[in-house]
């Protein structure tokens, strides 16, 4: 009976272990470059938002408002956290502007979760 109980425990442990989804690894080598914000299916964007991340930790955010036909470009610096899962952006005056947890990062898609609720920023899906 002890042997049967041990066998059942081992099988149950194996099933639980194998059924757990592995965390997606973030390949931060894809971080730099040009990314376009993509709205989800429930939201329509009247324009576009594009981020460009450079190797010298500078970035720009280009916002085009189609309703007013107005372009705005913001110049920032960015910092990736030590574990490279958090991006924080600062304006030219060194004041914090936005901060996101990087939830997914591939060569074609990046998903951000707002790390500072209440600051007016929302989660973002960026594509190339």
Work out how many domains the chain is built from and give that number: 1
CA distances from 118 to 42, 114, 123 (A): 21, 9, 12
Residue 25's pLDDT is 59
Provide the 8-state DSSP code for 8.
Answer: H
Range of the domain at 46: 23-127
Position 31 scores a pLDDT of 94
Say if 5 falls within a structural domain.
no
Q: Is residue 10 part of a domain?
A: no
Q: Is residue 11 part of a domain?
A: no
pLDDT value for 70: 93
Residue 64 in domain: yes
Rg (CA), the chain: 21
- So what's the pLDDT on residue 18? 47
Mean pLDDT of residues grouped by 10 in the chain (128 residues)?
53 49 63 90 74 96 92 95 94 91 95 89 92
Which DSSP symbol is given to 12?
H
In this prediction, residue 118 carries a pLDDT of: 79
| Residue 51, burial from CB neighbour count under 10 angstroms (0-12, 13-18, 19+) | buried
Q: Which two tokens stand for residue 116?
A: 């500072």
**93-106 pLDDT tens trace:** 989 999 999 999 99
CATH of the domain at 38: 2.40.128.370
Q: What is the pTM of this model?
A: 0.73
Structural domain includes residue 52: yes
Residue 101: its pLDDT value, please?
97
Q: Is residue 4 part of a domain?
A: no
In this structure, is residue 46 part of a structural domain? yes
Does residue 2 lie within any of the structural domains? no
Q: In angstroms, how far is the first alpha carbon of the chain from the final one?
A: 59
């Amino acid at each position: 009976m002890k042997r049967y109980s041990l066998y059942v425990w081992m099988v149950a442990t194996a099933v639980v272990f194998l059924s757990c989804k592995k965390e997606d690894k973030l390949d931060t080598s894809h971080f730099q470059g040009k990314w376009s914000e993509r709205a989800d299916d429930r939201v329509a964007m009247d324009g576009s938002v594009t981020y460009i991340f450079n190797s010298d930790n500078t970035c720009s955010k280009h916002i085009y408002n189609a309703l007013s036909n107005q372009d705005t470009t913001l110049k920032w610096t960015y910092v990736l956290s030590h574990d490279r899962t958090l991006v924080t952006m600062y304006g030219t005056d060194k004041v914090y502007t936005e901060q996101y947890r990087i939830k997914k990062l591939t060569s074609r898609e990046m998903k951000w979760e707002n790390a500072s609720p209440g600051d007016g920023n929302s989660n973002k899906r960026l594509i190339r």
